[in-house]
Structure 1
Amino acid sequence: MGEKKENEISIFTGKRAWYELLLASIFFGAFIYMIVLFVYFAFIEVSIKIAIRAFVTFLLCGTYCLVYGFKFSATKNMLINLETNTVISRYIIGPFSYDVKLKATEFEYISFFEDRYGEFGTNLWYVKNRHYKMYSFEDKESAFQFSLNLSNKLNIDLLDATEKGNFKWVEKENIQ
């Protein structure tokens, strides 16, 4: 096993629930079934009229199935390197992963807020007015705890922006 580095913060979302993976597999299976039907009608059972219908159905329903398959199976992990001020977001779908890297000069503060859909988000602010959207939560307490823990680890300030026009800096000493 590797040594844990003091200058790195890892945030893992964990595994998906069994029913989410079941739904994802159903959507991916339907997508593959639509590809097979399109290939069959376009190249084996050559009928232009049916092939066009299969293609249109594949575009509409196949896109829907693919997007929801990704939605129910994707997870997001983050790594924050304090030495280089780099945030790496890793999106994972099964054995495949995609990394998004963000290089910041200096982290300024963390804010948590309520969006227009009633969810609570967390942003990591850097370089004056630039920010990185980290995670969304269903309740305020989860967003607050995540933001508080991260601000303590990064040793930066925490801003409560859940009320529009009434932003408050959180006194972290009084909470613990």
Structure 2
Amino acid sequence: MKRLIVDALDFRYGQHILFKSASLEVEAGTMIGLLGPNGSGKTTFFDVICGLKKLNGGEVQHSFSKLLYLSQIIATPPVFRMFDVFNMMMLFCSDTRVTQRHALEKIEKWSPGIAERYCEIWKKKSSLCSYGEKRWFFTLSLLSVNADLVILDEPTAGV
């Protein structure tokens, strides 16, 4: 079975210890929430898991073939329409072509009725979308990709 194993993770900034022997195991098909106050290291933990930050000790292993990470902060080119953003995301995040139709079919299965709102945002210029709309659009779009591990950092921020 596919899984993520974080074993005895140590991470520090200078002398400040953020994690000491942190461990976590996540099996395929499960949903896990990581809770903690602001500044407690949740984003850093995700960054380490995704290889964006180097750990000071311990080990991170996973047997997933496709990992996607929606970071806490997103930015979109203001002149792009959201369908341009979608196409750019799919170029970076998917090995196979993902179309709006594919995304809408998945979205409709999860929550009938929200596809209409997704289509409204799809047509909007990025500069006219609120941060919440962009975040919502990114989250739904990335969830429509066939990934076997998805990490969403603050998925409801601004929504």
Higher strand share: 1
Question: TM-score, normalising length from structure 2?
Answer: 0.23
Higher helix share: 1
Q: Which structure carries more relative contact order (alpha carbon 8 Å, separation 6+)?
A: 2
Give the structure with higher Rg (CA). Answer: 1
